[in-house]
Amino acid sequence: MNIENIQEKVSFSNVWQDMLKHKKLFYKVLSITFVLAAIIMLSIPNYYNCTVMLSPELSSRSGASGLASLASSFGVNLGNNGAGSEALFPTLYPDLVNSTDFKTTLFHVPVTIEGDKEEGEADRTMSYYDYLSNEQKAPWWSAAMKAVLSMLKSDDSKQNDKVNPFRLTEEQADIVKAINKNVVCDVDKKTMVITISVTDQNPVICATMADTVKNRLQNFITDYRTSKVRVDLDYNKKIYKETKARYEKARQKYAEFMDANHDIILQTVRQKQTDLENEMQLQYNAYTQVAAQLLAAEAKVQEETPAFTTLQSATVPVQKEGPKRTRTVLIFLFLAFLATTVYCIYKEGHLIPLFKPSNSPEDDLDDLSLTDLARLLKGDKE
C-alpha cells in the first residue's frame, strides 16, 4: 500500500465520471424499476377512510376527577381516573372495539353497493360479512396466493351461518382479522375524545360502517352504565304490579262486602267492614309507596344514561386515502438510483477506501515499502 492509496478519497467528480461511464446501466435499472413499481402500485386497489370523533360524558361520582385528568395529561394513571365506581372507563373502549364479541356483531350489518346508474345497474344490499368475503378487490399476487391455498385446503369445512364467538370457523376468523384492520378505535388520554377510524374500498360503506360502529359503541356503553339501575327498574315494575293487584283485590273485596251488607248494623258486620277497610288501606299505602319507588327508578335510569357529543360525524369521503402511487414510485426510483450509484462507485474501485479504513498509523506504516518510509522520514508529503 502506498501513500497515494492512503490519501485517496471519494470525490464528486469521480462519482459523476462513474455515473457517466455506466449511464446505460442507469437507464436499464430505472426503466425496469419504474415499470415494476407502476405494476405493483396499479395492482393495489384504492381505499378510503372515514373518521368519527366522540366526547363521552364522564362519571362525576368521585371528587378526584380533576386531579386524575391533570395526572393523565402527564401520563400518570391514578387508578380509576376519577370515574368513581365505574369499571368501563373510556381508555378501555379500544379494547372493547377490538374484542371478538364486538367484531362479530358487525357481521350482519346491512351495507349497500351503489350500482352504475348510467349503465342501469341496480343497488345491491348485503351483509358486511358477505361484502368482505366476496366483494373485496385484492392485488394479483394476493389473489393468486389465495387461489393456491384454496386448492390445498380440503372441502370438508361447511359454511356455517351461525356465529359463535367462542368457536369461530376459519372463514369467520379471517373476516374478524379483516375487520380488525379496517376498524380502529383510539382514545386520547388527555381529552378522553374517542376516535373511530374505518378504512374500506367503498366510500359509502366506509361511512356507513363508521356510523354503525359509533352507534354500537354508544349502545354498549349505555347498556353497561345503566345495567344495574335497569335491573332495579325491572324489580320495581314487578313489585308494582304485585302491589297493585293486591290493592285492587282488597278494594274489590271491600266493595262486594259493603254491597252485600249495606243495611245490616250488626257488630260483627261492622267489625268485618273495619278489617276489610284497614286491609284495603294497607294495600293502598304499599301500592303508593312502590309507585313512588318506580318513578324514582325510572328517573335513575335517565340519570345514569350517558350523553355523547359528536365532534365529527360520519361523512362519505370524496378523495381516496391511498395508495399514494406517485410518491411510492418516486421512492422506488430514488432507492434504485442510489443503489446503482453505489454499485458503480464500488465497481470502479472508488468505494474501497471507505470499507477499509486505517485502524492506526502503525497499520498503515506496516504496509509501506522501504522507499515510501524513507520519503516520509525526509518529510516528503507527496
pLDDT at 80 over 80: no
Q: In this structure, what C-alpha cell is assigned to residue 322? A: 391511498
Written as nine digits, the cell of 26 is: 442507469
- Amino acid identity at 3: I
Helix and strand element counts for the chain (H, E):
16, 6
Per-residue confidence band for 148, with pLDDT thresholds at 50, 70 and 90: confident
pTM for the full model? 0.67
Q: How far apart are CA 277 and CA 228, in angstroms?
A: 38
Query: In angstroms, rounded to a whole number, what is the distance separating the alpha carbons of residues 135 and 29?
Result: 37
pLDDT-derived band at 142, boundaries 50, 70, 90: confident
pLDDT of residue 357: 52
Residue with cell 362519505: 316
Is residue 207 within 8 A of residue 214, CB to CB? The reply is no
| pLDDT tens sequence across 260-297 | 877 767 778 788 888 888 999 999 999 999 999 999 99
| Beta bridge partners of residue 124, listed in sequence order | 113
Note the pLDDT of residue 53: 92
What digits encode the pLDDT tens for the residues 11-42?
A: 677 778 777 888 888 899 999 999 999 998 88
Report phi then psi at 2, rounded to 5.
-105, 180
For residue range 321-351, list pLDDT tens digits in order: 888 888 999 999 999 999 988 888 888 776 6
Residue 9's closest CA among 273, 350, 377? 350
123 has pLDDT over 90: no
**DSSP reduced 3-state for 380:** coil
Q: What are phi and psi of 88, to 5 degrees?
A: -100, 85
- φ, ψ at 158 (rounded to 5°): -100, 155
Burial of 203 (0-12, 13-18, 19+ CB in 10 A): buried
- pLDDT score recorded for residue 371: 56
Cell of 252: 274489590
pLDDT over threshold 90, residue 372: no
pLDDT at residue number 66: 47
